[in-house]
Amino acid sequence: MVVLNPLTNALSSINNNEVRRNKQVIIMPASKLIINVLRVMQKEGYVGEFEYIDDGRWGKITVQLLGRINKCGPITPRYSLNYRDMINLPDYVRRYLPSKEIGLIIVSTSKGVMSHKDAARLRIGGNALGYVY
């Protein structure tokens, strides 16, 4: 199995299993970035508990789905955002969310992976990784 972008694969797996109304999804291969993105999604209430399983090769993550995700996916290319962009989302990022108040952009910053709302509050910028609403 060749995976060119594991984050894209993980977010599309979550989205596909939400559409099918499955209760859990197994994501493989696992990575620290995927785990950090899942922590942000869990903190915001989009997914339930998740667990890393070391299978001796790539690793797997089982994620409990709560049925609260309408859509999620990656943002490619990974746009750079400064903290002013987090408040007034630019057009190329706004096309991923249905409204300014609904959903969130997952951002990789120098302080770690967080939502665009937290990054705006901390006044730091970063790269847009994905979206969820």
Residue range 46-95, pLDDT digits in tens: 999 999 999 989 899 999 999 999 999 999 888 898 888 877 888 877 88
Taken in order 5, 113, 26, 24, the sign of the CA dihedral is negative
pLDDT digits (tens, 9 = 90+) for 102-128: 999 999 999 999 999 999 999 999 999
Please name every residue paired with 128 in a beta bridge, in sequence order, or none if there are none: 107
Average pLDDT, the chain: 92
CATH number of this structure's domain 75-132: 3.30.1490.10
Q: Where in the chain is the domain with CATH 3.30.1370.30?
A: 6-65
**Confidence class for position 129, pLDDT limits 50, 70, 90:** very high
Residue appearing with tokens 């070391």 = 54
Task: Collect all residues with Cβ–Cβ distance below 8 Å to 90 and sequence separation of at least 6.
Answer: 79, 81
DSSP 8-state code for residue 5: -
Q: Nearest 5°: phi and psi at 52? A: -90, 130
Fold of the domain spanning 6-65: Ribosomal Protein S8; Chain: A, domain 1 (3.30.1370)
Q: Where in the chain is the domain with CATH 3.30.1490.10?
A: 75-132
Whether residue 132 contacts residue 46, with contact meaning beta carbons closer than 8 Å, is answered with yes
Q: How far apart are CA 88 and CA 113, in angstroms?
A: 20
Q: Residue 103 class from Cβ within 10 Å (0-12 exposed, 13-18 middle, 19+ buried)?
A: buried
